[in-house]
Amino acid sequence: MSKTILVTGATGTVGSGVVAKLGGHEVAVRAGIRDPDAAAPPPPEGVEVVTFDFERPETWGAAFEGVDAMFLLRPPAITRVGESIIPAIDAAERVGVEHVVVLSVLGAEKNPILPHRKIEKHVLATDLDWTFLRPSFFMENLVQTHHDEIVEAGEIVVPAGNGATSFVAAGDIAAVAAETLAEPGHEGQAYDITGPEALTYHEVARILSDVLDREITYDEPSLIEFARHSRRQGRDWPFVIVMAGIYTTSRVGLAGRVTDVIERLLGRPPRTFRDWAEANAAAFDTDALTAVDVLSGGYEQT
């Protein structure tokens, strides 16, 4: 009997990629979606769709039933993980889920204020088999979180100082996730997932300037300047605080480490930032599509 795998956040940039990549393995795939009727595009043929929402416990039972392994992705809007995600983990264990692959963040084990680390610590206290994926900063964050400031003002506003970051493409993370979910031997492992190089945001701005043929700047805003900017953008305080904590890892020099995890697990090199920027240049076109239109890639993401 093939393994059944539940993918939470199955319509997101990483989650949809995980669903697509699992199609290359001999497993049954279950896509957990908050509102299946609104999912666009729908998951590939052969993927079971279930309603799943961390904040609606009544959706957990049917989603977890018969599941062997689960990809756990914390929705960015959920910062108080103790009220929803942690109880969901306990529910999954009670009904027989054996293995959970947690999408965390690089350096989480050294940053106890991050919700990712709180999730990791809780999983470690259960009897679940676990795998922690700790990717560096997503290249896609530049579009999905910082799209407006880059497109409208030609600037990157993050409090990362002059620290380097080993940016990684979401498609590479999804491929690693699918491998660790579908194939044995990854239990009890924490994988730091990075791209092939570490770049400062000054270097990121120069690459984007070159690819987009217009000036993109980065002026090393302070944490206070970043918080003020984020509030003007309409971001709520919990989200701003989490973002500040994550970017501080770059600021203090903890986000620049480059690993060989992608090449070791997938047998190929990770995508470079320049290659990603060239492939996604349309996402930064002031007259073109939105970030979601360009980057989501539905379930065809590579």
User: What average pLDDT does range 37-62 have in this prediction?
Assistant: 92
Q: 24 near 178, Cβ under 8 Å?
A: yes
Question: DSSP letter string over 14-31?
Answer: HHHHHHHHHTTSSEEEEE
Domain boundaries, the chain: 3-198+252-295
For the stretch 119-164, pLDDT in tens is 999 999 999 999 999 999 999 999 988 999 999 999 999 999 999 9
| Range of lowest pLDDT (23-27, 107-111, 148-152, 266-270) | 107-111
The enclosing H or E element of 99 equals strand 99-103
Interatomic CA distance for residues 170 and 295, integer angstroms: 10
pTM: 0.90
For residue 247, pLDDT beyond 50: yes
| Among the four given CATH numbers 2.160.10.10, 3.40.50.720, 3.20.20.370, 3.30.565.10, the one describing domain 3-198+252-295 | 3.40.50.720
Q: Is the peptide bond before 36 cis (omega within 30 degrees of 0)?
A: no
Alpha-carbon distance values, 274 to 193, 199, 236, 270 (Å) = 18, 11, 31, 12
Rounded distance between C-alpha atoms, residue 57 and residue 94, angstroms: 14
pLDDT of residue 302: 30
